[in-house]
């Protein structure tokens, strides 16, 4: 097996982008399964959103696919809603990026303190060995 290069760590901007994408994707998945298994609050919200969006999307789906299964329409509506919310939340990326940068700085400071503590421990040991001779 060939040697693999170490993976590059993601930039804070990439992490912020993925965080938003996974968040809205997760919301859409939770909404679908909440609707599917009749979870009271989720089911009613999804029904209302589906009714509101079907006015705009059902004609497009019927023109493209002919007869449309209602579940396909619901999935399309949830995907469209998640996409719209994701695009609208793009201005949050710089704020999330700053949070991730702060987290990296804090993590770097903690690691730096650990390294300094190890170095000090080694210097103390050397000093003790030198005095004992």
pTM: 0.68
What local confidence, expressed as pLDDT, does residue 84 receive?
Answer: 94
- Buried b / exposed e along 101-111 (16+ C-beta atoms within 10 A): eeeeeeeeeee
Verify that 83 and 98 share a domain, yes or no: no
C-alpha distances (whole Å) from 66 to each of 52, 60, 70, 71, 92 are 21, 10, 12, 14, 39
Q: Give, for all 133 residues of the chain, the pLDDT tens digit.
A: 566 777 777 888 888 899 999 999 999 999 999 999 999 999 999 999 999 999 999 989 999 888 888 898 999 999 999 999 999 999 988 888 888 888 778 777 777 777 777 777 776 555 555 555 5
Specify if 49 maps to a domain.
yes
Greatest Cα pair distance in the chain: 91
Q: Quick check: is 75 in a domain?
A: yes
Domain residue limits at 121:
94-133
Contact predicate 31/80, CB 8 Å:
no
Q: Domain for residue 70, yes or no?
A: yes
Contact 58, 68 (CB under 8 A): yes
Same domain assignment for residues 64 and 117: no
- Are 33 and 75 found together in one domain? yes
């Amino acid at each position: 097996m060939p040697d693999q290069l170490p993976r590059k760590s993601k930039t804070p901007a990439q992490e912020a982008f993925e965080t938003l994408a996974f968040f809205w994707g997760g919301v859409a998945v939770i909404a679908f399964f909440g609707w599917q298994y009749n979870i009271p609050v989720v089911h009613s919200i999804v029904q209302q959103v589906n009714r509101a969006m079907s006015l705009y999307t059902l004609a497009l789906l019927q023109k493209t696919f002919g007869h449309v299964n209602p579940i396909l329409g619901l999935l399309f509506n949830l995907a469209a809603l998640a996409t719209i919310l994701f695009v609208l939340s793009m201005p949050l990326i710089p704020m999330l990026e700053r949070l991730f940068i702060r987290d990296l700085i804090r993590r770097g400071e903690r690691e730096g303190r650990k390294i300094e503590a190890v170095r000090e421990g080694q210097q103390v040991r050397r000093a003790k060995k030198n005095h004992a001779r």
